[in-house]
Amino acid sequence: MKTAFLYTDALARFDYGESHPLKTVRLKLTYELTRSYGLLSLPQCRLIEPKMATDEDLLKFHEEGYLEVLKEVNSGVMVFGAEQYGLGPGDNPVFRGLYDWSRLVTGASLQAASLVESGEVDAAFSISGGLHHARASSASGFCYVNDPVIAIHSLLEKGRRVLYIDLDAHHGDGVQDAFYATDRVLTVSVHETGSGLFPGTGFEDETGAGKGRGYSVNVPMPPYSDDELFLYAFDEIVPPLFDLFRPDVVVSQLGVDSFQSDPLAHLNYTTNGFGEAVRRIHELSPKWVALGGGGYDVANVARAWTLAWAIMNGVGIPDEIPAEFLERYRSAGFEGGRLRDGAYVEEGAGKEQRREEVKRVVRVVKETIFPALGK
């Protein structure tokens, strides 16, 4: 299996601001950890330095007026009227190089899609990608340009059927909405329920519109769900969808803000459940474009995405993080010195209530989505 890893140190030089939860250093840490394991020198692996997407690429989804505003604030200075595009203090700050950052992230995801679609590689991982909340004319949820949507559009232009799988704790609303009325993209999002979490969407009754009826799949998980509940929901829904939809290419968003210690969500997953879901995607995908996503505990991000990259390459790696890496980055959250988390399983009345809710959601999805796709 031939693979490609998209990365450049330039990605980690952009800065959302000291108080912002998204730290681009997580990309540098992921690169360094995968390299320390020898995963970037495997014979089947190519390390690709991404190039910036063009304005023309971004216009495949985003409105020209919005892109003009992003260019204006690329200097790091707020301009009059930018707030109407979702920009300003808070989730989507203006910082120096904002537009360059967005073009570089999107360029990496486009290259990953192109390498996979052309057959040069079987799977590609763009760790900076997966910014799934951005709208056509506004920023949202730390996302300025929606690289998953643009990468998927590039695959559709080649006549490919795309299955999009989103594992982020937050619903992939921007991607869902972009393809809500088409039957050429099946979007699947397994996330914490929007009842109490941004963006407040992604309920099981959001199933698509028009030709896209049945092609939007949402599996909202109750807060504090653990690996057991996550894998139950994933296994009940995702593998059957492969058989029903028969995609040419899979695009996955591998956000890890679903982990126990992440500060921005309330799920209790670990590398165990995450790794098993990634393994299933690896086994089922004819061609695979993997994107990063959320994750605000930087050590979790590096550990999980290093594990994902090993799985994508079909190799096993030891649990002990290499000493050379720990010497440099132990203080960044790697004090435990291990790649994988210990097993974690919830018990008690709360767990049983969550189990019943997950079973209910799975039942609803099976009753509404499976018949629509099985026509």
pLDDT, mean over the chain: 98
pLDDT category at 3 given cuts 50, 70, 90 is: very high
Which domains are seen in the chain, by residue range?
3-373 (3.40.800.20)
- Structure letter (DSSP) for residue 19: T
Span 36-63, mean pLDDT? 98
- Structure letter (DSSP) for residue 92: S
Confidence check: pLDDT of 70 > 80: yes
115 φ, ψ (degrees, to nearest 5):
-60, -40
Q: Which residues are catalytic?
A: 133
- Residue 374: the pLDDT is 86
Tell how strand 45-48 and strand 249-253 pair up. unpaired
Please check whether residue 87 is in contact with residue 75, taking contact to mean a CB–CB distance below 8 angstroms: no
Tell how strand 216-221 and strand 185-192 pair up. parallel
User: 162-185: per-residue pLDDT in tens?
Assistant: 999 999 999 999 999 999 999 999
Measure CA 191 to chain center: 11
Confidence check: pLDDT of 45 > 90: yes
Report the candidate in 61, 221, 237 with the shortest Cα–Cα distance to residue 163: 237
User: 118-137: per-residue pLDDT in tens?
Assistant: 999 999 999 999 999 999 99
